[in-house]
Structure 1
């Protein structure tokens, strides 16, 4: 079992480290082919990739924020992320049709 933190954003990486998240690998982008049953993936993925993670038997923990509209598209610091209530929330996502 491997725990991945997926983010290309320095502030998110800093936040994860400061919050004491225990991960085996920090990666910029996800190649779903690396995901094995029992793995844990933490990040903010598009829904189709999150569904693929779940379909592969892994757990998906979303990095959630209550982001004000003015901060969308802005690189946030770890401190700004905390101000937005940054948290990890587990989701099970399933594709219903193909």
Structure 2
């Protein structure tokens, strides 16, 4: 089992690790063909890629954050993310 964290932000990766997630491969760009059954994918993916992760037997955890407008587009630290309610929530999707 491999855990991927899809993010260009080092603060997000540091935050996930501070929450007890072991990240095997942090990736700035995601290639869904890497996913094998049992893998975990963490990040903020579009729904079509979430469906592909699930179809391949992976589990997807979405990074949710209550971020005020003035902080959008800025590099965030793990501490700022924690302050604004960062959490990883599991989602599933399928194309119909």
**TM-score, with normalisation over the residues of structure 2?**
0.89
Match of residue 69 from structure 2? 69
For residue 52 of structure 1, give the secondary structure of its aligned residue in structure 2: helix
Aligned-pair CA distance for 1:25 = 1.7
Aligned-pair CA distance for 1:20 = 2.4
For residue 29 of structure 2, give the secondary structure of its aligned residue in structure 1: coil
Structure 1: segments with no counterpart, 5+ residues: none
Structure 2: segments with no counterpart, 5+ residues: none
| 1:8 maps onto 2:12 in alignment | no
Match of residue 53 from structure 1? 53
| 1:78 maps onto 2:78 in alignment | yes
Deviations 1:21-58 (A, max 9, x none): 11222222110111111111111112221121112111
Aligned-pair CA distance for 1:77 = 1.1
CA RMSD of aligned residues (A): 1.3
Match of residue 36 from structure 1? 36
| 1:26 maps onto 2:36 in alignment | no
Separation in 2, partners of 1:52, 1:74: 29
Aligned-pair CA distance for 1:94 = 1.3
Count of residues in Structure 1 that have an aligned counterpart in Structure 2? 96
